[in-house]
Amino acid sequence: MASLKGHLLIASPRLLEPTFARTVILMLEHTDEGAAGLVLNRATEATITDIAETVFLEPLNWDKPLHLGGPVSGPLMVLHQVKEIADQEILPGVYHSIEMSHVHDAVMDRTEPSLILANYAGWGPGQLENEFDLDSWLTLPATPEFVFWTRTEDLWDVVVKAVNARKLSDFLGLREIPTDPSMN
CA distance 85 to 76: 15
Rg of the chain over all Cα atoms, to the nearest angstrom: 17
Helix or strand run (H / E) with residue 98:
none
In the chain, the percentage of residues whose pLDDT exceeds 90 is: 84
- 146, 161 contact by CB (below 8 A): no
What is the band of 56 on the pLDDT scale with cuts at 50, 70, 90? very high
What is the band of 74 on the pLDDT scale with cuts at 50, 70, 90? very high
pLDDT at 28 over 80: yes
Model-level pTM?
A: 0.90
pLDDT at 32 over 90: yes
pLDDT at 183 over 50: no
Count of H helices and E strands in the chain? 5, 10
pLDDT at 154 over 80: yes
pLDDT at 184 over 60: no
CA distance 11 to 20: 7
- 85, 105 contact by CB (below 8 A): yes
Single out the residue of 145, 33, 18 nearest to residue 81, CA to CA: 145
User: Which pLDDT does position 173 carry in this prediction?
Assistant: 61
Is the backbone of residue 119 left (phi > 0), alpha (psi -120 to 50) or beta? left
Averaged pLDDT, 112-139: 96
CA distance 184 to 173: 16
Quick: pLDDT tens for 81-116.
Answer: 999 999 999 999 999 999 999 999 999 999 999 999
Cite the DSSP H helix spans in the chain.
Answer: 48-56, 100-108, 127-133, 144-147, 155-172
Q: Which domains does the chain have, with CATH numbers?
A: 7-151 (3.40.1740.10)
User: Which pLDDT does position 152 carry in this prediction?
Assistant: 87
- 8, 142 contact by CB (below 8 A): yes
